[in-house]
Structure 1
Amino acid sequence: MPIVFEHAVLVDATGQREDASLAFAHGRIVPAPSDTPGIDLAGAIVTPGFVDVHTHGGGGYNLQTTDAQEILAYARWAPRTGTTAFLVAVVGVPHALPEAQLRAAVAAIEQGSPAAEPLGIHLEGPYMNPARRGAHDPSWLRQPTPAETEQILALAQGHLRLITLAPELPGADALIQRLAAAGVTVSIGHTDATYEQAAAAIPLGITHATHCFNAMRPLHHREPGALGAIVEHEQVLGELIADGVHVHPAVARILLRALGPERAIIVTDALACAGVPDAVFEFNGQPARVVDGVARLADGTITGSVLTMDQALRNLVQIVGVPLPQAVGMLTRNPARSAGVAARKGRLAPGYDADLLIFDAQLELQATICRGRLAWARADWQERLAALPSI
């Protein structure tokens, strides 16, 4: 028998339904029966679970690790922030490919998690332009070769979902085409590409852009840079780190209007320090700390963020002014497209995974359900949702 939520406000990218019912069984959303008593969610908002395609960790857990169990510990922590699915971000290591980290990611993905689901790997680099490397150590960076491309695909064992690269690097054209043919979402990022270089590279297979405005040439009225080409090519979905630090809210509004609600993807780019106040931590061996809510390396360079997905939703709605259904779509349906799971995640519709979030009217997260099982809830909601199987 399905579990039914009644009298809820249901919100996804398709719109908002008042006083509505939603049912799920065996981990999937099903048509709501008319004769089954349900759990009263009057006053609550239900959305699909968030899909974070660009995160390096949180809750004290690193995704750049050689320990698969640390990735799965992050998966257990993430639902308290609204994340029900994510890509495991892997970055470079000095003078080599991150082989041990890729193996750990594969092991965690194949073991699986009943909590937030590791969907695949996001390889951020090592094919970056040194001029736009951001917080990434220059010793990690390298230029692509066909042999190394095949090595990456072999190490990922079919789990590489997203790769960030600078298309102006020698050998990048062949890399883009090979990975796109293999079903990998190719993202332009950490790039010093001119508008002309980006516009030539995107048709080769680029469909994603990593943290727009950050680690790329600024948009200039005489030199639009990569961002100008990203906006012009409708097949490209663009990330925004919605913490109000990486991109000013006014500029975020400009980007979201330029891309439109169906092409913008909200990410955290979070590090292990996310959710850990005043943390001192490492970003792949580089000492860093949180200063006034911003993650910085010892030299002051911003490195990732301390953003969580639930806070990103509030920032979009309350600061940037995005309508709630559009904001929800940017955290659910759109990233699911880039991760290759849009057929089962990101919608409140029959057949989709029962990854569900319950919010109050102020958009404070109350409970998280991962594939039909209660993964996290505030104390008062644990009793209200006692009928649900728990993780």
Structure 2
Amino acid sequence: MGWGQDGMASLLISHCRLYDAAGVDADGWVLVDGGIISQIGAGGAAPDADRVLDAGGRLLAPGFIDVHIQGAGGADVLDATPAALATIAKTCARCGVTSYLATTVYKPDQDNRHLQVVSECIGRDLGGARLLGTHLEGPFISSQKRGMIQPDCLTAPSPSALDAILNKTGDGLAMMTIAPELPGGLDLASALVDRGVIASLGHTSATYEETLRGFDAGINHVTHLFNAMPSLHHRAPGPLGAIFERPDVTVQVIADGVHLHPSVVRLVFAAVGASRFVTITDGMQALGLPDGHYTYNDILYEARDGAARYKDGTLIGTALGLNRILARLVQFAGCSPATAIRTVTENPAAILGIGERAGSIKVGYDADLVLLEEDLAVHATLVGGRVVYQNNGD
């Protein structure tokens, strides 16, 4: 993928603790060769390498994967430039993220250059996290549950509309959020699955029965659970009732304590289990920046205390980095850091079909890694064995 010459040199990460290892001894080491993990060990004499990164006893975890992020560092996917995607990639790296899906919208009858730019930048060295593909929120979603998504980003499901999108995204479309209750929605879900695209339920007004039909048509993932969908009612369970009882369906959760109350985060974690839970940011361009006013899709919003809202109070995303949201998940759900980390590593890697090379620390896997403090603050982030971010205490 062209991650730079220094990424091809051998690297020894010494004095680390694997995030899921028993005990507290910091005598572990990982050898990286050619951007791939080649050896893992503990104690004794570590092998020689061209470079050594002393972890200083910190936790070493797989790099995080954010499947739902629209912008960061002042940039947005809609900016439609490689520079914007690079800014997002570099800001992601500051938060421990080594791979991301560029999440955005499609505007029918417009040029949608941003989708072409994303496709052209997949696999490029952006100086930070790897760009894996596009996650489209819509345009086949409910107008009643569109949230921050503007009306000009919606259209009815049809083969021709899907073809127009694929002409822009090519093989870069990795995930699409759809509402299965729309006429033609089930056929569209099946068409996406046939193309290897993840069909994700979201921005939907579906009933319980319509949701189940969507799952039977191939939908197996859920976009920001609870948000932009009907609430759970004891006589009309809606999509949530169907989601909770389907063990083959994974769910995205914005576990920041704002999009969902901490008690609901705890409830979801207990109900679906750690293996179905995928922590996301739903990050906006304000992610990684101070509180202030910013613009998304030409509409002003305010980022304050980690939450992004339109002037009317509509919650539209987060400005918190993924590592900070993970720390809140640990607090709210009462789970271990290792368990929380799996929700941004093993789980999304499996969903994206890259679990045989990413999401774990194993020999033969990509050396996409993050060194973490005890509170999950990021000390260093590596992509393909290259340090793309390091906190030097500045």
If the length of structure 2 is used for normalisation, what is the TM-score?
A: 0.91
1:40 is displaced (CA, Å) by 4.4
1:279 is displaced (CA, Å) by 2.3
The 8 Å contact of residues 133 and 215 in structure 1, kept in 2 or not, is answered as yes
CA offsets 1:75-126 (integer angstroms, 9 cap, x no match)? 1222111111000112133x53663121111122153434210001101111
Name the stretch that deviates more: 1-10 or 102-111.
1-10
1:4 to 12, 28, 43: 12
Aligned to 1:198: 211
1:327 is displaced (CA, Å) by 0.3
Segments of 5+ residues of structure 1 without an aligned counterpart are 382-391
Separation in 2 of the partners of 1:380 and 1:110?
31
Aligned to 2:3: none
Separation in 2 of the partners of 1:364 and 1:100?
36
Aligned to 2:6: none
1:320 is displaced (CA, Å) by 2.9
Pairing of 1:348-367 with structure 2 (within 5 A): 348-367=361-380
Aligned to 2:94: 80
* Runs ≥4 residues deviating over 6 A: none
For the pair 1:23 / 2:23, whether they are aligned, the reply is: no
Alignment-mate amino acid for residue 5 of structure 1: I
Aligned to 1:36: 47
Separation in 2 of the partners of 1:271 and 1:181?
31
Assess, with a 3 A threshold, how the Cα gap between structure 1 residues 295 and 39 changes in structure 2: closer, same or farther: closer
Identity of aligned residues (%): 35
The 8 Å contact of residues 281 and 289 in structure 1, kept in 2 or not, is answered as yes
The 8 Å contact of residues 86 and 127 in structure 2, kept in 1 or not, is answered as no
1:35 is displaced (CA, Å) by 4.7
Assess, with a 3 A threshold, how the Cα gap between structure 1 residues 212 and 292 changes in structure 2: closer, same or farther: same
Other structure's SS at 1:158 match: helix
Separation in 2 of the partners of 1:40 and 1:290?
36
Separation in 2 of the partners of 1:246 and 1:102?
27
1:16 is displaced (CA, Å) by 4.8
If the length of structure 1 is used for normalisation, what is the TM-score?
A: 0.92
CA offsets 1:207-265 (integer angstroms, 9 cap, x no match)? 11000000001112222211111122222110000111000111011111111111100
The 8 Å contact of residues 91 and 98 in structure 1, kept in 2 or not, is answered as no
1:54 to 65, 68, 71: 68
For the pair 1:273 / 2:273, whether they are aligned, the reply is: no
For the pair 1:262 / 2:275, whether they are aligned, the reply is: yes
Alignment-mate amino acid for residue 358 of structure 1: L
Pairing of 1:1-391 with structure 2 (within 5 A): 2-12=10-20, 16=22, 18-19=24-25, 20-32=28-40, 35-36=46-47, 39-93=53-107, 95-96=108-109, 99-379=112-392
Other structure's SS at 1:374 match: strand
Length, aligned pairs only = 378
Assess, with a 3 A threshold, how the Cα gap between structure 1 residues 268 and 118 changes in structure 2: closer, same or farther: same
Separation in 2 of the partners of 1:70 and 1:365?
22
The 8 Å contact of residues 167 and 198 in structure 1, kept in 2 or not, is answered as yes
Assess, with a 3 A threshold, how the Cα gap between structure 1 residues 292 and 69 changes in structure 2: closer, same or farther: closer
